Amino acid sequence: MAYKYYKDNRAYIEALLKTGDAIVVNDEVDWDLEMGAIVRRVCEKKSPSPYFKKIKDYPGFEGFGAPIASYRKLAVSLGLDPETPIPAIAKEYLSRTAADKGQKPKILNAKDAPCKEVVWTGDEADLFRLPAPMVHEGDGGRYIGTWHFVVAKDLDTPAINWGMYRQMVFDEKTMVGPVLPFSDMGKMFYNKYAPNNIPMPFATVIGPDPLSAIASCAPAAIPEDEFTSLLMGEPVEVVKCETCDLYVPAHAEIIIEGVIVPNVMIEEAPFGEYTGYRTSPREKRTVYRVTAITMRKNPILPISNMGIPTDEGQLLRSFSLGLEMERMLRDQGIPITGVYMLPESTHHLVVVGVKPAYANIATQIGQLVFGSKLGPWFHLVVVVDDKTDIYSKDELIHNLSTRCHPKNGIIITEQGVGTPLNPYAWPEERKYSRAGKVIFDCLFPPEWPTSMVPIKVSFDNVYPKEIKEKVLSKWNQYGFKD
């Protein structure tokens, strides 16, 4: 049975307008920095998403900024009430995606696919006909791919991948961006296509429905199109590309088709990145050549503006990375109470709640998550006990400050896999994607006798039940307003 969800970007925008999580901007805005600056400020102030009705130089195009940059918007995208608390959103996500197999996509004919309303091929397929924004001053170019995903297929297996890989417009027919070798598409391209000098077909899906976008960010164990069906409760509708055999969501705003060029790299970046810094320098990176562009009439170009928290990349990656970790740890039989990755950490810090059942359980948790395919994306794991609210930043700071032994409680692994985007990393570490990893063990050692374990002094913990009930029932009577 299908869940409540939005089949396209447009229905989702309408829903956000109704909940007050989006506003219409009727003034003309400039693709050259102005749109980017607006979206950046929206992310920093946690304002409603701007729906831009007029873009300078590009009549007929509209824009939509910060599509899922808050938990309220994430809740709406899943068909939930915007007030749904984070643990309830997480529970819904885990419940929908519990199956280890999804449904195959439903293939539509091109005439029924909105993303085929306009088709440009040959010289018409010119990237400068799209209002790619200059997102931040100093960026290496205009980024057409900020809220999108790239579809690719393995060379010799049926495996497909949807993943968000940023794409900078280089010239009319060329885009460029980083494809890290440990990413799913990186493994396909650098292990199979490039060694055989075979161009790899790709399709960039810009302005997908929100659940396809969420799936493309999720480190799921099943193909992203099937994962989308788990979130939707029914198959995602796709259509075949014009110039290759890939399939793309039929209700997306814009599709860019082409090939990834083997054994040629050109300069890309710098770019304001999800860490909140422009870290990775201008370098030669992976080249995309465009063969066709298809789109809906009056397409709406989404714009994500990465920078200091919170943007949708930080929020969604944190959300899905944390929940995939939770699933993995539960599968391993670890008695966790939950996992929460803080978006404010730019998905670098994760909090794991666990029943401290045996010695060094925190180390075991850290080794499991760092050793998984999720590991390169974060480097800080804080393990707290089962009484701690993993969603509370106050409790996190209190745990770190009081329970984590400054010598025995901080476990450092020097030779982990990282990303080139870590702002703290030295150039050599960036070059080879190396990173140290740290576990903060905030559990009192289980071998301590009960008489030795410090008692947490809190309202909940140190007062008898009848006193707490009395205080709570008379709270307003005492004169308190909260």
Binding site for another protein (CB under 8 A): 32, 57-58, 128-129, 134, 136-142, 169-172, 174, 199, 259, 261, 264, 266-267, 270, 278-279, 281-282, 287, 289
Q: Which is nearer to another protein, 132 or 218 (by Cβ)?
A: 132
Least gap, CB of 2 to another protein (angstroms): 41
Least gap, CB of 368 to another protein (angstroms): 35
Q: Which is nearer to another protein, 85 or 281 (by Cβ)?
A: 281
Least gap, CB of 267 to another protein (angstroms): 5
Least gap, CB of 295 to another protein (angstroms): 16
Least gap, CB of 196 to another protein (angstroms): 15
Q: Which is nearer to another protein, 149 or 170 (by Cβ)?
A: 170
Q: Which is nearer to another protein, 124 or 267 (by Cβ)?
A: 267
Measured in residues, the chain has a length of 482
Amino acid making up residue 225: D
d(CA 256, CA 144): 10
User: In this structure, are strands 106-107 and 283-295 parallel, antiparallel, or unpaired?
Assistant: unpaired
Q: Which is nearer to another protein, 17 or 198 (by Cβ)?
A: 198
Q: Which of 257, 252, 249, 204 is nearest to 106 (CA)?
A: 249
Burial of 57 (0-12, 13-18, 19+ CB in 10 A): exposed
Least gap, CB of 278 to another protein (angstroms): 5
What 3-state class would DSSP assign to 164? coil
* Cβ pair 350, 369 in contact under 8 A: yes
Q: Which is nearer to another protein, 283 or 389 (by Cβ)?
A: 283
Q: Which is nearer to another protein, 199 or 436 (by Cβ)?
A: 199
CA distances from 289 to 129, 200, 201, 259, 325 (A): 15, 10, 9, 5, 36
d(CA 46, CA 309): 9
Least gap, CB of 180 to another protein (angstroms): 19
Question: Where in 193-246 does DSSP place strands (E)?
Answer: 200-206, 237-240
DSSP-derived letter for residue 299 is -
What's the token pair of residue 165?
A: 């890989």
